[in-house]
Amino acid sequence: MTSPIETAMDQPTTENDAPLFERVPAQPLPAENPESPAPSATASLSERWHEIQAMFIDDPRSSAESAAGLVDDGVQALIASVREQQDSLLAAWHGENAGTEELRAAVQHYHAFGNRIADFTHET
């Protein structure tokens, strides 16, 4: 469902105008597509999960504790990444010299970033 603000922002100001956010091509979000983890980090994570699963046979509780710790590390890394992206967005417009174009781009980037966060939080 579209909010009244989103609807208003997407409406042309006159019959001949393009919608506000389509007049100028969008600039990419800062850190919009973070790089994938290095192959060695991915392999290491995969190896760690394999170890945790193998440990389950002899020590189920330790396996569960290790799994919880590994996921906690991932959550902390995710939070740090989101905060970095949020700080980058704020830095892009939060000066007294920010003009209308920078502010328009900031709103557009916040919208896209907010949608990505909403999509992530709805995944289960």
Closest CA to 109 of 123, 84, 95, 88: 88
Residue 23 pLDDT: 36
Residue 86 near residue 110 (C-beta atoms within 8 A): no
Task: Tell me whether residue 109 is exposed, middle or buried, using C-beta atoms within 10 angstroms of its C-beta: 0 to 12, 13 to 18, 19 or more.
Answer: buried
> What backbone torsions phi and psi does residue 17 show, to the nearest 5 degrees?
-85, 150
Amino acid code (one letter) for 44: S
- pLDDT per position as a tens digit, 14-32: 344 434 333 333 444 444 4
Q: How far apart are CA 21 and CA 32, in angstroms?
A: 18
Q: How far apart are CA 96 and CA 109, in angstroms?
A: 19
In terms of pLDDT, which residue wins out, 74 or 36? 74
Residue 39 near residue 29 (C-beta atoms within 8 A): no
Q: How far apart are CA 9 and CA 60, in angstroms?
A: 54
